[in-house]
Structure 1
Amino acid sequence: MGGSEKLYRVGQLAELTGLTVRTLHHYDDIGLLSPSRRSGAGYRLYDGVDVERLYEILALRQLGLSLEQIAEAITDQTSLEAMLVAHSEHIDARLAAVQRLRTQLGGVLATVRRADRPTDTDLLDLIRRVMTVDARVENYFDADQLAALAVRREELGEDRIRAVENRWPSLIAEVDAAIAAGMDPAAPEAGALATEWMGLLEQFHGGDPGLRDGMYRMQEDNTEEIQKNFGGPTTEQIDFIRRAGESRG
């Protein structure tokens, strides 16, 4: 692939890959993917090596890495074969998760077609797995993101999900106690709380920036309801974690 003489202008590459020109410009601005050549008029020109690197970036994004992590992972010695193998294994895992979800859905559907009423447990479990789309959720996630969240839940498994959900109340209480005690967000103890907080969230969004931002926006827009029904987090607690997280960096 690297020997190809074909060159692509940024608009052509965007159209061929389904990315936006803005995204490719951003990758260039942060040094993640800079075009190998420029035209006489200064236009970006991407060659085959650039296309290969773009694939590696997108494959790593799908594996859940942030742009910062991708920048550290990709080197001139990156093995395309290893990347393809890892990407293939990830897709296989997603397909298996979707198939398990499809099998469960088929079982509930068969019950309904027999004119039987599915049990509450059947429906509740199905709801948990597919994250039923209501008007509010659609404001924060598109169809592909909702499917990704459903698959993410399948990949985590119910035991891990319960462990994360059970940890939230005590973690929120610890953050609340730190705030009440006047703890400095720059303190190592605050940093440890922020690290765990972000880690629990990442269990669900998997490092995908679109899912992460959607979760944050949904929480911000529904803070009072979430606090009332689930005991937090409050705006003050979130601000404390944000400042503690920034202090870590």
Structure 2
Amino acid sequence: MASTWRIGELCRRTGLTVRTLHHWDHVGLLRPSGRTSSGHRLYDERDVGRLYRIVALRELGLPLETIGTLLDGGGGGGPELAELLGEHLAHVERQLAALGGLRDRLGALVPAVRAAGDAPSVDLLALIEEVTRVDDTVRNYFSEEQLAALAQRRERLGEDAIRGVEAEWPELIARVRAELDAGTDPADPRVRALAARWMELLEAFHGGDPGLRDSLYRMQAENSAEIAQQHGGPTPELIEYVKRAAAAG
């Protein structure tokens, strides 16, 4: 026997509100297939399939009017379920990638605030500005697919390995800068070893993907002054020194 749900049951199972389902019924987006003897709405399994399509397409940013046209056009009931599930999954992965970056930045602030007991408003405002700026900058250079790939690589490597790499960068930059300031020839074995490790850490980021590598280099080149000033990143002069050392090897 096929399953059916009254509107209250469907709302409890899905988290949607009665008001939402009433509205979708009123505009013809999701009309229940049946009614009880007392006139209450009854939704069947086919209605649930359509309901998922509505929810997923809305999550992907389509307005309700467009969703209705898409679902009713051509008599096919809208996109194939497997195709829509795949698009929905890709969308969620992109969201996770963005949230992962925000989580990391907040993770650096939490211990400091816990130790101090509070955070001045000026620090919170600066954090908001930085998060907005960094996210906007990143999205100017990396596609959503690249951000999703980075999130998957991060998951494979594990948080301990990622934190180790992040902790190593400032020390490595400082050691290379010391050699540069001392006038050490980039062909010196000591500098070449530092350059080799530098390239290994970059490889851990882009995984050999030429698109990710090029996006990373372009972002660094076009924002080098800001990265160096605000995040302690390498200057163009330091990067050129590393390139010369790597070429000498």
How does the TM-score come out when normalised to structure 1?
0.47
More helix per residue: 1 or 2?
2
How does the TM-score come out when normalised to structure 2?
0.47
Larger Rg: 2
- Greater relative contact order structure (CA < 8 Å, 6+ sep): 1
